[in-house]
Amino acid sequence: MEFINYLIDNHSEIISLFIEHIELTFLSVGLAILIGIPLGILISYIKPLGKPVLGLTNVIQAIPSMALLGFVIPFLGIGSKPAIVMVILYSLLPIVKNTYTGIKNISPQIVEAAKGIGLTNWQVLTKVQIPQALPMIMAGIRISSVSAVGLMTLAAFVGAGGLGYLVYAGIRSVNNIQILAGAIPACLLALMIDYLASLVENLVTPASMRQNTKKSFFKQPLFQKIILLLATVLIIFMILFNHLGTTTSDKEITIGSMDFTEQEILSYMVKYLVEDNSDITVNQRLSLGSSSIVLGALKTGDIDLYIDYTGTIYGNILKHEPNSNIQEVYDISKQELKEQYQLNLLNDLNFNNTYTLTVTKETAEKYNLKTISDLSVVAPNLVFSPTLTCMERQDCWLGLEKRYNLSFRDIVPIDGSPRYVALTNQESDVVDAYSTDGLIQKYDLVVLEDDQNFFLPYQAVPVTNNRLIQEFPEVEPLLEKLSHYLNDEVIRNLNYQVDENKKTPSEVAKNFLLENDLIEEG
């Protein structure tokens, strides 16, 4: 019942993401077909190219999808482009291989007979070989199309949209209902595409190669053609309807966010605040990944603004040694960000989302843990599950290990909310967390005191490009106004509403702004 209610309350968003998923999938597979079929034909004629081309497509297929996506981001930026390129590359192998195999398996006698009646090589290819190979080619396209639906869920990681956004948001907040809201439509889409592809595969199969068994009306070619026509019209209508009414504005900015709850809430706050108090249209690129990815998007102009944290900029981006002085960290970050990247650090938003180490109440009581220094004494008995980002940073695990002389029994990195699940299931004993994380409240965890003041201050700060400062000066005062209503406790409670009460980030952000009279109803 709860799942049904979620679908009803969020049906417009789900439908929009579903259509986005269809667009991205069809475009990717379509381009893969345009590349793969000619390539398969080419290597069937030029034999020395066969092994290198098939070998390369096999290698691409073996590369982890997230790794491939991460590789293309520096070249293509964020958005739909890297996602489409990734899916194209993964879709090539079945199409190329099946095209090559289909043409090579045609009987040489048939080809010789065609040449014997005077057909040119081009005519042999188009009138004999391709028609005979079409069933095999369509089988490859069918495989690629179904796989593309699943692969395209990764588009959410680069701000391209699609159903993967719901899946990833649900994983991040441990919201199984949200995961299902993204996964079930994706499964239905895969089944639909598989069915439609099977119809095409049957229709392109020459009559002489079809089974002679008596077919029902529903398996007749005429009925199948009608189904394909209706499906094509419906898909075109959905795509056009999804874009109907969308307009571009001269006064338009794009804001980005990292891939956790707080970032999405802040992104929606900025969007609603700016749009309600100005004539600026605000686009969003949500859940783009780590700070370095979002910063890269800002440098390339894919976005105009995002919220980062002074500690991340100071330690991870600018590579400074840990420093607990709040003002010094801010001043240096602002100066060097401007000098090195021509980016602007605005005034902070009045809360500090610093790193912490957390344990369950049971673990804290068992080992009498109050501080990280207490933890260092018993660490050899415990399992630590940090985020992957923390593991790689001097201002997190790399420096923390040295400062407190920490030596855990085992270290098992786990990203996102699953690490909290591992903690409560006693599969892990210690995790890193953010001080404003709503999941700390949800799981009733104990935050260990950083008694040696290792962790940097992580004041939330808007980071912008020069375009926003020069063309939209009205944005900065609005952000200043917002900061007066924020603090650590407020942010933690807002995160809790999403992570525990299962509200959407957009709903939480809008309600907060309305309650504080920062925007008007409507």
CB within 8 A of 514, min separation 6: which ones? 520, 521
DSSP 394-457: IIIIIHHHHHHT---SEE----STHHHHHHHTTS-SEEEEETT-HHHHHTTPEEEB-TT--SPP
**What is the rounded CA–CA span in Å between residue 152 and residue 20?**
10
Confidence of residue 206 (pLDDT cuts 50, 70, 90): low
SS3 9: helix
Average pLDDT of the segment spanning 96-105: 91
Q: Which residues of 149-162 are buried (b: 16+ CB within 10 A; e: fewer)?
A: bbbbbbbbbbbbbb
pLDDT at 308: 95
Give all strands (DSSP E) within 63-178, no chain letters.
none
Confidence of residue 248 (pLDDT cuts 50, 70, 90): low
Give the class (CATH, top level) of 252-352+460-515: alpha beta
Cβ–Cβ contacts within 10 Å for residue 382, how many? 18
Whether pTM exceeds 0.85: no
* Sheet with strand 252-256: strands edge to edge: 281-285, 252-256, 305-309, 460-464, 344-345
Please choose, from the candidates 411, 403, 387, the residue with its C-alpha nearest in 3D space to the C-alpha of residue 451. 403
Checking if the pLDDT of 246 tops 90, the result is no
Please choose, from the candidates 275, 270, 226, 69, the residue with its C-alpha nearest in 3D space to the C-alpha of residue 156. 69
Q: In this prediction, what percent of the chain has a pLDDT beyond 70?
A: 95
Q: How many residues does the chain have?
A: 522
Q: In this prediction, what percent of the chain has a pLDDT beyond 90?
A: 44
Checking if the pLDDT of 220 tops 80, the result is no
The per-residue pLDDT for range 416-446, each reduced to its tens digit, is 778 888 998 889 999 998 888 888 888 889 9
pLDDT at 348: 95
pLDDT at 450: 92
SS3 215: coil
Half-sphere exposure (Cβ direction) of 211: Cα atoms closer than 13 Å: 6
pLDDT at 243: 66
Cβ–Cβ contacts within 10 Å for residue 410, how many? 10
Average pLDDT of the segment spanning 376-388: 93
pLDDT at 361: 93
Checking if the pLDDT of 188 tops 60, the result is yes
Label residue 226 exposed, middle or buried (CB < 10 Å: 0-12, 13-18, 19+).
exposed
**What is the rounded CA–CA span in Å between residue 3 and residue 9?**
10
SS3 458: coil
SS3 463: strand
Checking if the pLDDT of 453 tops 80, the result is yes
**What is the rounded CA–CA span in Å between residue 289 and residue 484?**
28
The CATH number of domain 355-448, selected from 3.40.640.10, 3.40.190.120, 3.40.50.2300, 3.40.50.720: 3.40.190.120
pLDDT at 216: 59
Mean pLDDT taken over the chain: 87
pLDDT at 343: 95
Handedness of CA 322, 327, 328, 334 (dihedral sign): positive
pLDDT at 388: 84
pLDDT at 116: 82
pLDDT at 173: 66
SS3 485: coil
Helix (H), strand (E) at residue 171: helix 164-172
Domain coordinates of the chain in residue numbers?
Answer: 2-243, 252-352+460-515, 355-448
Checking if the pLDDT of 350 tops 90, the result is yes
**What is the rounded CA–CA span in Å between residue 137 and residue 97?**
9
Question: Which tokens hold the place of 321?
Answer: 């040694």
pLDDT at 208: 60
pLDDT at 340: 93
Residue 309 near residue 461 (C-beta atoms within 8 A): yes
Average pLDDT of the segment spanning 177-202: 88
**What is the rounded CA–CA span in Å between residue 317 and residue 328?**
16
Does residue 408 or residue 105 have the better pLDDT?
Answer: 408
The CATH number of domain 2-243, selected from 1.10.10.10, 1.10.3720.10, 2.130.10.10, 1.10.443.10: 1.10.3720.10
Which range, 199-213, 216-230, 390-404, 461-475, has the best average confidence (pLDDT)?
A: 461-475
Checking if the pLDDT of 247 tops 70, the result is no
| Choice among 4-18, 114-128, 171-185, 214-228 with the minimum mean pLDDT | 214-228
Report the DSSP beta bridge partners of residue 430.
384
* 252-352+460-515 against 355-448: fold identical: yes
**What is the rounded CA–CA span in Å between residue 270 and residue 278?**
12
Confidence of residue 17 (pLDDT cuts 50, 70, 90): confident
Handedness of CA 280, 283, 288, 294 (dihedral sign): negative
Helix (H), strand (E) at residue 372: helix 372-378
The per-residue pLDDT for range 51-98, each reduced to its tens digit, is 898 889 888 888 888 788 877 877 787 778 888 999 999 999 999 999
Please choose, from the candidates 41, 35, 39, the residue with its C-alpha nearest in 3D space to the C-alpha of residue 84. 35
Average pLDDT of the segment spanning 372-388: 93
Report the DSSP beta bridge partners of residue 448.
357
SS3 40: helix
| Choice among 206-210, 212-216, 230-234, 330-334 with the minimum mean pLDDT | 212-216
Q: Which residues of 170-181 are buried (b: 16+ CB within 10 A; e: fewer)?
A: bbbbbbebbbbb
Report the DSSP beta bridge partners of residue 462.
307
Average pLDDT of the segment spanning 470-482: 94
